[in-house]
Structure formats: structure tokens, C-alpha cells
Amino acid sequence: RTVYVNGEYLPETEAKVSIFDRAFLMADGVYEVTSVLGGKLIDFDGHAKRLARSLKELDMKAPCTEDELLAIHRELVARNEITDGLVYLQVTRGSAGDRDFAFPDPETTEPTLVLFTQNKPGLADSPAAKTGIKVISLEDIRWGRRDIKTVQLLYPSMAKMAAKKAGCDDAWFVEDGKVTEGSSNNAYIVKGGKIITRELSHDILHGITRAAVLRFAKEAQMVVEERSFTIEEAQQADEAFVTSASSFVMPVVELDGAQIGTGTPGPVAARLREIYLEESLKLAV
């Protein structure tokens, strides 16, 4: 596999980053994951814009322009012959050649830019979308700026492991009795035809798929309500689902052991998945 590191396309075994890189020592980095369908990038513009926002919120320098980022994405997709898959991008504050809590001088420190692809044949035809996934709930003990897409992913990793141990697929986080989001996705319920998902704030990641799905839902005259909800409300909902760049729209059929609706993917989630895949492919670059 060919990867990209700081201006160079290299075999993955030859790619190197300093051990003093602040992402390695302090999780001082941000990332994006963009899906590739039919060789094209889905929602690239949204991911590039959110990356710019994450960088700004952390006082980090942008490594290059959005046009250059798009060119790098396309070059890697081409070199690795990706039809369906993902492009992972990470920007870190770079390395000052030592360990120090204080940020290094941005005048003399270059950010680190790394990209690699993951080949996922049939990404849009995932079997899980046909059966739905099972989730558990866990207390949300992450930091208070979840709107910034940082590489601090230890707790989400622990949450996935806890889900796996419980015979489930994923976890929904709960704070002050209300669902924030999934471990790596935004969470929704459907009740009486209404699509309900938590409003945007510092408490959740502003999902690029969330924005697109809500836009398509409104265009299709579906009712959207942006508010938080409890686990109990979700368990009594007609349907539940999650959205993310890598899973698109994924039905949730069980929550903390309770079946949601009929225990099979519901019509709203199925329709939103269909609309999202169709419409976002039309806009793909």
C-alpha cells in the first residue's frame, strides 16, 4: 500500500514520523475519514471544512490548502486502486524534538500530515445494514470538546471492547441521563415518523453524514427534531439508527438487551440509507 507522509508518497513500510510527534506523545492531532464509493470521495467538502474547523479550534496550522488535500486523496485512491474503501487523514501539531506540554512555536514547527487508504470492497452493501446492529449504553466520560475531531480515541476503543464483550456491536454514550452519540457515530431514534437526534453543541461530533442525512430527510419532507433523548425513550422508539462516514446509515435493533421496534431494520432507516447513498454518490468527487 502506498501512503502519504509530509509531501511524499511512500510504501507503508518506509513511512516515518518522529517519536517526538505530539500526536504520539499527547494525542495532539486531529483526523478525518472519508469514504470512497465507485472510486469517488463521498462528502469530501464537508470533511475538509470540518478539518479546518478542528485545526482552528486547537490553534493548529493547516498543512496545505483544501485543493491540495483533494489532490492527495485522489492520488492515493488512484495509486492504491481503491474502488470502495476509506481515506484516513491525520494532521498533528508536529514535533519540537522534545517532550513539553506547551505548544511548540508554530513559526518553526511544521504540522505532520499523514494519509492512508483502507480497501473495503462492497462497503455500501454491508451485511450489518440488513440485520441491524446491537448496542449497549455506557457513561460518556470523554472530554468536553467532542466537536473537535481529535485522535484521543482510547475511551471509544474501550467502549467498542465493552460492546464486544457483551455480545454487541457498538456503544451509545450517555451523559446526564441523555444519549450524546455513538462511540464513532451519531445516534438517532424514530418515533411516529419523526427523526430525533441530539442538537449540535460541544457535546458531540458534528457528523458530516449527520448533516447530509438531515438535509436529505428534510428535502424528502420527513420531520426532523433536534433534541436529546434518554435510553428509555430509545428503547420504546419505533426505530433507531446511527450515521457515520464509514457506515452511512446503520439500523440499530437492540439497545441494552431491549429490542427496538420489530427488532429488524425499520423503514425510515432503510429509506434514509438509500437516499443518502444515492444522493451523496451524485455529489461525490
Residues classed as catalytic: 149
Inter-CA distances, 252 with 191, 224, 228, 276, Å:
14, 18, 17, 17
Query: Minimum CB separation from ligand PMP for residue 160, in Å?
Result: 11
Q: Candidates 21, 181, 203, 254: give the one binding ligand PMP (CB under 6 A).
A: 181
185 lines the binding site for ligand PMP (CB under 6 A): yes
Contact between 244 and ligand PMP by CB under 6 A: the answer reads yes
Which lies closer to ligand PMP via its Cβ, residue 96 or residue 283? 283
Instruction: Provide DSSP, 124-162.
Output: GG-THHHH-EEEEEEE--S-S-TTS-BS--HHHHHHHHH
Q: Is 140 in the site for ligand PMP (CB under 6 A)?
A: no
Query: Are the beta carbons of 251 and 133 closer than 8 angstroms?
Result: yes
Q: Which of 205, 237, 253, 260 binds ligand PMP (CB under 6 A)?
A: 205
Choice between 111 and 207, CB closer to ligand PMP: 207
Please identify, among the stretches 11-19, 100-108, 160-168, 242-250, the one whose residues bind ligand PMP according to the rule CB under 6 A.
242-250
Query: Which amino acid appears at position 285 of this protein?
Result: V
Residue type, 96: A
C-alpha cell at 245: 462516514
Closest CB to ligand PMP among residues 54, 243: 243
Closer residue to ligand PMP in complex, CB, 208/237 = 208
Instruction: Please report whether residue 72 would count as binding ligand PMP according to CB under 6 A.
Output: no
Which residue among 112, 186, 197, 280 contacts ligand PMP (CB under 6 A)? Answer: 186
Considering the complex, what minimum distance in angstroms separates the CB of residue 246 from ligand PMP? 7
Residue 245 sits in the site that holds ligand PMP (CB under 6 A): yes
Give the C-alpha distances (Å, rounded to integers) separating 264 from 101, 167, 178, 267.
49, 17, 24, 10
Give the residue among 271, 223, 226, 243 at the shortest CA–CA distance from 182.
Answer: 243
DSSP sequence for 180-238: EEETTBEEEEEETTEEEEPPPSTTS---HHHHHHHHHHHHTT--EEE----HHHHHTSS
| Residue 114 host element (H or E) | strand 112-119
Nearer to ligand PMP, 137 or 184 (CB): 184
Q: Of 22, 134, 198, 210, which lies in the binding site for ligand PMP, with binding defined by CB under 6 A?
A: 210
> Which of 29, 207, 261, 266 contacts ligand PMP by CB under 6 A?
207
Residues that bind ligand PMP (CB under 6 A): 33, 181, 184-186, 205, 207-210, 243-245
